[in-house]
Chains A and B, each alone.
Chain A
Amino acid sequence: MSVLKQLTRTLGGARWLSPLLLLAVLEAGSRTGLIPERTLAAPSKVLATLWTMTVSGELTANLYVSFLRILAGLVIGVTTGVVLALVAGLSRKGEVAVDPLMQIKRTIPTLALTPLFIVWFGIGETPKIALIAFASIFPVYLNLYSGIRGTDLRLLEGARSLGLSRAAQVWHVILPGALPALLVGLRYSLSISVLVLVVAEQINASAGLGYLINNARDFMRTDIILVCLMIYAGLGLAADGLVRLIERRALAWRPEIVTA
């Protein structure tokens, strides 16, 4: 077979090829002046800026601030969602009390609450964390509630027939059975919280990735903006990877549907 044919065959299945070609085109466009730097920085420039910002510690410091915000918001939001789902899922009275409020909450776009939160909490850290927390409640609530109500009744009966108390039934049967659903809700909450972080950080940012972006915007530094976008994407991927890791450990008992 000719070299050309062999080459085409190998490259035909290469999924990395088109992204690489795109980057090459952008690079060429920037070098030749077709794409001005104020519009979009060259990929090489972006990588260079990434390097400089990391070395100077600027990126690390601001990333740390953003990370703490998202962590605080998530801890509050996810805990609230879990508690509300337990109350609503495990008792009829709880469902009647909590679920209508959650359905109302769902219809309110979180980001539309930004002005209200600024009025209530000022322009410091609190409104940012509050927005992230508020946004992460519903996915966890909905999925855990659904997981609890979807418990396999036969397993519950089996546990009852052994004389387990109601509390023991919840702990040994209902909650572990609802765990896969909880993890799905957690993944949604994580990805939403990154989105809300981006917007929340536009509120009078004085530190964090949003602050870097705002500054860069004022000076038309598209390379810094692109670096921060990459970091945001990295945050999202890392969060999802964390949940997948938890899934693999906590759900080791599930047989694989798809062979590796």
Chain B
Amino acid sequence: MDARLTQFTTVASSPTFAEPAVKLRGFTRSFGENTIISNLDLEIGAGEFVVLLGRSGSGKTTLLRTLAGLDPVDGQDVTVPSSRAVVFQDARLLPWKKVWRNVALGLKGANARDAAQDALQEVGLGHRLEAWPLTLSGGEAQRVALARALVREPGLLLLDEPFAALDALTRLRMHELVLSLWRRHRPAVMMVTHDVDEAIALADRVILLDGGRIVAQERITAARGAERAGIAPPLRQRLLSALGGTVVEERPADIVALHAGHKAGARP
């Protein structure tokens, strides 16, 4: 039940999952002269919940966009499932379509509306089928975006800091929602976040990205919930120091000084 810290740039595929849904080998992405990602190897098993942790500029959003098919692959070794869906930080609902039509966007077949209705009921918005998106709150809009992503049963669900814009209480509820949806539909999930606590709470595996490389990985085998709370503090400390920060005090509610070079106990 321990979490093990491994400093890897290559990843052995996890024995629990049969064949990888996502596979990258030697992936590099540069924009002009800047190399955002260099020589990355990554595997995500079918149904695995992976969280990509890193600060701004670490390349995590670039990696997500490539996996989502939004940036070109240019002949590199990238294997992704054909059915993918993305939930962005902003819900990106089409304001001129009612909520159920947004969820049903791109769905073919006569029962698209029923599928949309079921998906919305799963996220607790079954009563808002006919609402206009601009009348929704931030949390509601993100839930619709989640429904929209999951209604098409994707093989890979990509989440780009989806709860960063929400208040703390809504965020906790969204964590529960994502987990229950994941357990029901079982897509492979890759979530990008900068929030260490979120990563620890949700992930099967946490991958730390810094400067376009994987600097650390943690597989968390403890069950989510109370069991994880027990192993969380040392894990959190290890992740934060791998990110280049220093935990000033061990209580989770404290603000961490993320300036490299500060000694433990020093105030910023």
Contact = CB atoms under 8 A, between A and B. Distances in A.
B213 interface: no
Interface string B138-159: 0000000000110010000010
Interface in A146-183: 154-155, 157-164, 168, 172-173, 176-177, 179
A154 B92 contact: yes
A177 B97 CA distance: 11
B168 interface: no
A154 B88 contact: yes
Contacts of A254: 95, 134
Contacts of A168: 106
Output the residue of B68, B92, B94, B96 with the most chain A CB within 10 A. B96
B106 A253 contact: no
A255 interface: yes
A155 to B, nearest CB: 6
Contacts of A255: 132, 134-135
B70 interface: yes
Contacts of A179: 96
A203 B105 CA distance: 53
Interface in A4-44: none
Interface stretch (B43-51, B79-87, B189-197, B238-246): B79-87
Contacts of B158: 161
B86 A161 contact: yes
Given A155-B92, A255-B134, A161 B105 contact: no
Interface in A173-227: 173, 176-177, 179
Contact of A176 (B69, B70, B94, B133): B94
A252 B134 CA distance: 11
B96 A162 contact: no
A6 to B, nearest CB: 45
Output the residue of A161, A164, A176, A252 with the most chain B CB within 10 A. A161
A254 B95 CA distance: 8
Contact of B92 (A157, A176, A177, A253): A157
B101 to A, nearest CB: 9
Contact of B106 (A155, A164, A177, A252): A164
A162 B94 contact: no
A172 B149 CA distance: 17
B96 A176 contact: yes
A233 B169 CA distance: 58
Output the residue of A155, A179, A253 with the most chain B CB within 10 A. A253
B161 interface: no
Interface string A220-259: 0000000000000000000000000000000111110000
A253 B85 contact: no
A253 B105 contact: no
Interface in B162-200: none
B134 A161 contact: no
A162 B68 CA distance: 9
Output the residue of A160, A172, A173, A179 with the most chain B CB within 10 A. A172
B94 A154 contact: no
B148 to A, nearest CB: 7
Output the residue of B68, B70, B92, B152 with the most chain A CB within 10 A. B92
A250 to B, nearest CB: 8
Nearest to B95: A253
Contacts of B97: 172, 176, 253
Given A157-B92, A176-B94, A253-B96, A162 B106 contact: yes
A161 B106 contact: no
Output the residue of B68, B84, B105 with the most chain A CB within 10 A. B105
B90 interface: yes
Given A157-B70, A163-B83, A164-B105, A253 B132 contact: yes
Nearest to A163: B106
Contact of B90 (A154, A162, A252, A253): A154
A158 to B, nearest CB: 3
Contact of A162 (B85, B134, B135): B85
A162 B152 contact: yes
B135 A161 contact: no
A179 to B, nearest CB: 8
Given A157-B70, A162-B86, A173-B94, 18 more contacts: A157-B88, A157-B92, A158-B88, A158-B93, A158-B94, A159-B105, A160-B70, A161-B88, A162-B106, A162-B152, A163-B83, A163-B152, A164-B106, A168-B106, A172-B94, A172-B97, A251-B96, A253-B95
Interface of A: 154-155, 157-164, 168, 172-173, 176-177, 179, 251-255
6 contacts: A160-B70, A162-B86, A179-B96, A253-B96, A254-B95, A254-B134
| A-B pairs with lowest CB-CB distance, top 5 | A158-B92, A161-B86, A176-B96, A253-B132, A162-B106
